[in-house]
Amino acid sequence: MVNVGYHTAKIQGKANRHIYKAALNQIVSFPIKATQKIPISVYALSCERDLPEQVASIRSFIRHVGIPKTFTVISDGSYTESSCNLLRRIHPCVEVIPLTKMLRADLPQCVWDYAQLHPMGKKLSALMSIPVNGATIYTDSDILFFPGGLDLVGVSSSDDKYSRYLPDCSISLDQRLIYNDSEKLNPVNGGFILFKQELDWSFAIERLANLQEPPIYFTEQTIVHLTIHHNHGVPLCSHKYVLSVEDQFIYLDKLAKKEISLRHYVSDVRHKFWLSVGK
């Protein structure tokens, strides 16, 4: 039996994205109703393909969380100059820099090699190079922020130094880097991280260096997972910071409520991103 709701949502999501993409030049000129400045630096790694998502994500952050010190879009190298200028027009806090200009010179060779081999290696190199001077957020471009995003301001200003992570809804790990079943517990999603201090990556990077076969898509997330837990990271409330695919096969985006802080629209529910833009 055909799931009409699911297929209708996918068709509508595709159509909404097409309309949004066509109107990007006008959308970035619309003023964002936000006045609260927040002591947080934000970074996002993205590419030309994801320009519409990146624009929508930035606008939702400023609208619902506040105006960060900077919102830095890290280009993987594919953004055109016109797209970079378009992103900067969203708000004065937005800057765009190429990945090659922000990478730390002292990254381990295994990370450089991974970055040359796979896009997720580029993401790992970016995460390890983000300067953490006070509360610092990394966010993927397929994340929308909602009115409950003000919660982030409180979490980021807490006195403790423990980074916060987005709990994953499944165990999506490179099993070759897992040495004990207990290390699979409390899976971390690498799409959103609130850094409270610089992380010690050495524990997980040693495993990457010892890997005999080429790293794969989930190698990056596994390195993040191991590193966050090694540094005593604290999970964000999964009711406010949402990563779930439980509504994948229905029409509505039933999790996009004003009370939540954000939703990460992973591939299974990516179409719902475009049903919830502007909420």
Are 72 and 14 within 8 A, CB to CB? Answer: no
Residue 148, token pair as written in the block: 């409950």
Using alpha carbons, list the distances in angstroms from residue 29 to 76, 85, 89, 92, 201: 25, 12, 7, 12, 40
Element (H, E) at 70: strand 70-75
Name the pairing type of β-strands 70-75 and 143-145.
unpaired
Within 13 A of 187's CA, how many CA atoms are on the CB side? 18
If one counts every other C-beta atom within 10 angstroms of the C-beta of residue 61, the result is 29
Q: What is the pLDDT of residue 279?
A: 82
Q: Which residues contact 101 (CB under 8 A, 6 or more apart)?
A: none
User: CB-based contacts of 259: which residues, under 8 Å, 6+ apart?
Assistant: 146, 147, 148, 240
Measured in whole angstroms, how far is the alpha carbon of residue 80 from the centre of its chain?
21
Q: Encoding tokens for residue 262?
A: 């954000």
What is the per-residue pLDDT for 278? 84
Check if the beta carbon of residue 121 is closer than 8 Å to that of residue 215.
yes
44/24 Cα distance (integer angstroms): 19
- Report how far apart, in Å, the C-alpha atoms of 111 and of each of 128, 171, 175, 198 are: 9, 23, 18, 17
**64's tokens:** 């619902």
Average pLDDT, the chain: 96
* pLDDT score, position 73: 98
pLDDT value at residue 2: 82
Residue type, 278: G
pLDDT at residue 103 in the model: 97
Q: Residue 189: name the closest of 231, 156, 140 by CA.
A: 140
Give me the residues of the chain with pLDDT under 50, please: none
Q: With contact defined as beta carbons under 8 Å apart, do 181 and 147 qualify?
A: no
Give the bridge partners for 96, in sequence order.
73
